Amino acid sequence: MERCAIGIDLGGTVLKGGIVSESGRLLEYRSTPSRVFEGPDRVLGNLTTMADLLTAKASECGYPVAGIAVATPGVIDPVFGGIVGGAENLPGWEGVPFMKMMHERFGFPVMAHNDVTTHVLGETRFGAGVGKKDVIMASFGTGVGGGIIVGGNLYTGSIGYAGEIGHFTTHAGGQLCACGIRGCWEEYASIRGILRIARRRVDEARRAPRPPGLPASSLLEAWPAQVEKDTPAGPDPAMIFEAARDGDGLALEIVDEIGREAAVGIGGLINIFNPELFIIGGGIASASEIYLEAVRRHVPDWTLKLSMGSVRIVPASLGYEAGVIGASVLAFDRINVYGAG
């Protein structure tokens, strides 16, 4: 019987888990709130319950288990067996040797890696990047993360922290990022960036005299004028994309600017890496074809001709279970195995 892996995707909001076959089929899938703000003990408990369920199911079905693999925010140290930094969204999780604990409890090899990195690994093995050797993936969501495949292999850098593409500066001296750098790409191309752009455009539109005969944008109503400038409350990106699809002029302008900001960084990465494939993933990208269209329209403005001519830009294809499926690749390839060093 084909081997399987237990893949777990520890997100800030949802904990997802599944049994994945060596050919990439998702044999079993579960999800539950991850409750990361209740602290590391709760997270560890949830993780263990998920692994309990899935290993029991695998054993019941007779699948030989290659290992348990966890996609998590942050930088993994597989010798220590946990995260050693870079996981601001998981309070208290840094320094918890969860790989060690899970290995002791379940007896299987335990692997872990950064979530976006894991995602690109899944896309390259089972999704949009099958058979490609030089691949970059950007994931647009709460932040902007990245994964780098070089010569068919995952590139992780000297301490496993490579791929922080959201923190290269595209607007030097611009918006202050949570990381402390001024003008990170992430501040312009994440959900936070999108909502800031939309808020500015909506405010501008509210102040400007409306051309006679043109209907008012639906965003003006959806977005209350009184909200504090600094809290980007109001429509979420999906609402903007929907209005744009309905032909709302203001929404179309916003989507164009959003696409441009994403394209600035995508172009830069294509110039640096000359990849054959650039995969666009994450919550924003999966939400809307109109977003992808805007991004694609602007990328050539920020990309050298030779590299533009040799790259395809495609959406991620694994969808919501990408982290789970990607994690299985860690297990099958024995990447970042706890205690192997």
Does residue 310 interact with its own copies by CB under 8 A?
yes
Question: Measured from the CB of residue 92, what is the shortest distance to its own copies in angstroms?
Answer: 18
172 lies in the binding site for its own copies (CB under 8 A): yes
Choosing from 134, 187, 248, 321, the residue that interacts with its own copies (CB under 8 A) is 134
**Virtual CA dihedral for 230, 233, 237, 240, nearest 10 degrees?**
-110
Using rule CB under 8 A, residue 129 touches its own copies: no
Q: Name which of residues 152 to 171 contact its own copies (CB under 8 A).
A: 153, 155-165, 167-171
Instruction: Give the residue among 211, 89, 78, 215 at the shortest CA–CA distance from 142.
Output: 89
Closer CB to its own copies, residue 134 or residue 248?
134
187 interacts with its own copies by CB under 8 A: no
**Position 141 contacts its own copies (CB under 8 A):** no
- Taking CB under 8 A as the rule, which mask of x and - marks residues 274-293 in contact with its own copies? xxx-----------------
Name every residue whose Cβ is closer than 8 Å to that of residue 305 and which is 6 or more positions away in sequence. none
The rounded distance, in Å, linking the Cα atoms of 223 and 6 is 43
The reply on whether position 317 binds its own copies by CB under 8 A is no
Element holding 137 (H helix, E strand): strand 135-140
**Residue 259 touches its own copies, criterion: CB under 8 A:** no
Q: Of 86 and 122, which CB lies nearer to its own copies in the complex structure?
A: 86
Judged by DSSP in three states, 95 sits in coil
Pick the binder of its own copies from 78, 267, 282, 315 (CB under 8 A): 267
CB of 216 to its own copies, least distance (A): 29
Structure tokens at 171: 């607007």
Q: How many residues bind its own copies (CB under 8 A)?
A: 52
DSSP-derived 3-state class of residue 236: coil
Interaction of residue 257 with its own copies, rule CB under 8 A? no
Nearer to its own copies, 159 or 227 (CB): 159
Q: How far is the CB of 117 from its own copies (least distance, A)?
A: 11
State yes or no: residue 272 binds its own copies (CB under 8 A).
yes
DSSP state for residue 121 in the 8-state scheme: H
Piece of the chain touching its own copies by CB under 8 A; list 18-26, 92-100, 236-244, 266-274: 266-274
Residue 90 or 287 having the CB closest to its own copies: 90
Least separation in angstroms between CB 86 and its own copies: 6
**Residue 75 three-state SS:** strand
Long-range Cβ contacts of 316-320 (<8 Å, 24+ apart):
316/119, 316/123, 316/127, 316/128, 316/137, 316/139, 316/279, 316/280, 316/281, 316/282, 316/285, 316/286, 317/123, 317/127, 317/128, 318/119, 318/122, 318/123, 318/126, 318/127, 318/128, 319/286, 320/16, 320/286
DSSP bridge pairs for 280: 138, 315
Q: CA 269, 275, 277, 283: dihedral to nearest 10 degrees?
A: -20
- Residue 305 Cβ, how far from its own copies at the closest point, in Å? 8
DSSP assignments along 3-25, one per residue: -EEEEEEE-SSEEEEEEEETTS-
85 is a site residue for its own copies (CB under 8 A) = yes
Specify the residue, 81 or 86, whose C-beta has the smaller distance to its own copies.
86
User: What values do phi and psi take at 305, rounded to 5?
Assistant: -60, -45
By CB under 8 A, the residues from 206 to 245 that bind its own copies are: none
Q: Which is nearer to its own copies, 101 or 179 (CB)?
A: 179
What is the token pair recorded at 326? 């990607």
271 binds its own copies (CB under 8 A): yes
Would you tell me which residues interact with its own copies (CB under 8 A)? 75, 85-86, 133-134, 146, 148, 150-151, 153, 155-165, 167-172, 179, 181-182, 188, 261, 264-265, 267-269, 271-276, 301-307, 310-311
